[in-house]
Amino acid sequence: MLKSIVCVILLLFATAALTCLADDQKSDKPKPYPLKTCLVCDMKLGDMGKPFVFVYKGQEIKVCDKSEKADFDKDPDKYLKKLADAEARLKK
């Protein structure tokens, strides 16, 4: 009887652990960047070489180069608002 109870408890813990791992893996995938232009300077991505890509708070961000990431880092809220506004225009 005690073995059965221990097995059930271990099974519950294993199930909970696997559920947590599955949730973590889902949240690891960032929201894709929807624009074809640099978020900082508005130039077409790829015109100046391969874009610099990074993730900020679960959102993929693309800029022309690494120096523009420094500009983004100075005021990320400004650029996230710019991104949200652009997404809203795309949906119309």
CA–CA dist 12, 64 (Å, integer): 48
pLDDT at site 1: 80
pLDDT at site 19: 66
CA–CA dist 44, 65 (Å, integer): 12
Whether residues 58 and 76 share a domain: the answer is: yes
pLDDT at site 16: 72
Whether residues 85 and 63 share a domain: the answer is: yes
Whether residues 25 and 38 share a domain: the answer is: no
CA–CA dist 65, 20 (Å, integer): 36
pLDDT at site 77: 97
CB 62 within 8 A of CB 45: yes
pLDDT at site 32: 97
Whether residues 20 and 36 share a domain: the answer is: no
pLDDT at site 13: 72
Whether residues 24 and 54 share a domain: the answer is: no
Whether residues 37 and 62 share a domain: the answer is: yes
Q: How confident is the chain (92 residues) per 10-residue block, as mean pLDDT?
A: 74 69 66 97 93 97 96 98 94 84
Residue 61, domain extent: 31-92
